[in-house]
Amino acid sequence: MRSHINNGIVAGLLGGVVFGIMMQMMNAPTPEGGQMPMMAMVAMSFRGMWLSIRHGLRNAPAVIIGKKRVIQGQLPYERIKLAIEEELEKRDARREKVLSRN
């Protein structure tokens, strides 16, 4: 029984190494027409999953502004631009407040 477990561990590790080498050698097309390593795409998808969990996003498009404000859904460009400008104004006001203290 123990030899079967050891064989399974070795096979899993060996398969992982082979899969990692294959992923490193393969390229995926980008929307701009270029190429990017498949491993980078895997890392980006994990990051996207983490951000969706962290910010409570669903499958709809979303914009995260300043690591805090989340806008979900398919919104017109003007509304998204307005939200970004509001956050930039808040940030600038906070900076000025800090600088005025010094």
> pTM score > 0.75 for this model?
no
Q: Quote the DSSP letter at residue 33.
A: S
**What single-letter amino acid sits at 56?**
G
Which residues lie below 8 Å from residue 75, measured CB to CB, with a gap of 6+? 63
The domain locations on the chain are: 60-102
pLDDT in tens, the chain (102 residues): 778 999 999 999 999 999 888 888 888 887 788 888 887 777 777 777 787 787 777 766 777 777 777 777 777 888 888 888 998 898 889 888 888 887
